[in-house]
Amino acid sequence: MAVTLERARRVGCTCLKAILRFAFMVANNLVAIPSYVLYLIVLQPLRMLDSKSFWYIEGVLFKWLLAMVASWGWWAGYTVVEWGDDVKAVSEDEAMVLVNHQATGDVCTLMMCLQDKGTVVRQMMWLMDHIFKYTNFGIVSLIHGDFFIRQGKTHRDQQLVLLKDHLEKYYRSRNRKWIVLFPEGGFLRKRRETSQAFAKKNNLPFLKHVTLPRLGATQVILKTLVAPQENGTPAGGDAVIKDSKSKGLQWVIDTTIAYPKGEPLDIQTWILGYRQPAVTHVHYRIFPVKDVPADPEALTDWLYQRFIEKEDLLTHFYETGAFPPPKGQTKAISREMTLSNLWLVGIQSFAFLSGGMWYCIFQYLYHCLF
């Protein structure tokens, strides 16, 4: 009986904690997202007079919103350990980030582990499934200039044209630095069987922990954002080159996310915190963009090779609990990523104070008008 009561107590505590966390998340969204939108509406005159300053402020607010999402996991004990190359060294350069995709928690993990990488978070662009547009965060991503891509063969060609137009219009005009995409085109559990069948048919390696990536978006990004002196083609159109002093895309950051026991965190877990504290492991490998082939066939082979390497990395991780050391070294060095609780509390406080301020403003206007 004592064991049963103890278990019931633990379950009850977990449920209560999940309810309280969910209530806090809802309140957080109800004040933070409208405040973000209202601040930017008020700042529209600045956008016309000095667009660079406007997008700087927008980027800071965007980073703080992502930090709020990161705080939900951080305070639940979902932390990150990083391996491989130190991406802080290229945080001020333009880079394309290729990430394996296992669950909705992958995005939250990136929102957390990129917080301490300088200006990256406020100057990054995300490529995500179009369904994300209809979530609570969709309005924020629309304003920030992220791109929502619709999956499926019937939409593929049109989506790539739209992506190219989007990059030319928004990427450098808003001073973006990093662009993040998931080349697998969906979650591992949904695409694995199809990918394995395709691999078998085309005599490609059998992959269990990742799927074979799709070329389209990666190729469009490289063609559009790589500087002309590196690939011989205009980088995003004449207008973009004329208005930008950018060196163009300089790096490809191959990012591999691994979860303990191969059990990914999803957004529900991130919000409710009902799983025990867990450490997510993120491995980075940096490639100069000049080493990435432009020819479609060669680029496909190069991209496939990256995901074959991801498969090897993840296999090693699931067998040993650590990523393998780089070539020529005997030991892999990990780095624990940390966030400041004081900073997170400050950002959350700013959000709730902003919500209160806007409420008072609208109450005042309502009484003046009516």
Calculate mean pLDDT across residues 193-206.
Answer: 89
Is the distance from CB of 352 to CB of 362 less than 8 angstroms?
no
Taking each helix axis from N to C terminus, what angle separates 341-369 and 2-42, rounded to the nearest 10 degrees? Answer: 60
Band of residue 370 on the pLDDT scale cut at 50, 70, 90: confident
Tens digits of residue pLDDT in 272-325: 988 899 999 999 999 999 999 989 999 999 999 999 999 999 999 999 999 998
What is the predicted pLDDT for the residue at 228? 64
Residues of the chain with pLDDT > 70, as a percent, come to: 94
Instruction: Give CA–CA dist 235/356, Å, rounded.
Output: 45
CB atoms within 10 A of CB 305: 11
What is the predicted pLDDT for the residue at 347? 95
What is the predicted pLDDT for the residue at 39? 97
At residue 136, does pLDDT exceed 90? no
Calculate mean pLDDT across residues 119-130.
Answer: 91
Band of residue 366 on the pLDDT scale cut at 50, 70, 90: confident
What is the predicted pLDDT for the residue at 111? 93
Comparing 2 with 241, the larger pLDDT belongs to 2
What is the predicted pLDDT for the residue at 23? 93
pTM equals: 0.89
Cα angle: 221, vertex 150, 285; to 5 degrees = 40
Band of residue 58 on the pLDDT scale cut at 50, 70, 90: very high
Tens digits of residue pLDDT in 228-266: 644 444 343 333 333 445 678 999 999 999 998 889 999
* Sign, Cα dihedral of 234, 239, 241, 246: negative
When the pLDDT of each residue in the chain is averaged and rounded to a whole number, the result is 89
What is the predicted pLDDT for the residue at 152? 73
Give residues with Cβ within 8 angstroms of 326, minimum separation 6. 84, 332
Instruction: Give CA–CA dist 244/238, Å, rounded.
Output: 10
Where along the chain do its domains lie? Answer: 10-227+247-369
Band of residue 10 on the pLDDT scale cut at 50, 70, 90: confident
What is the predicted pLDDT for the residue at 1? 46
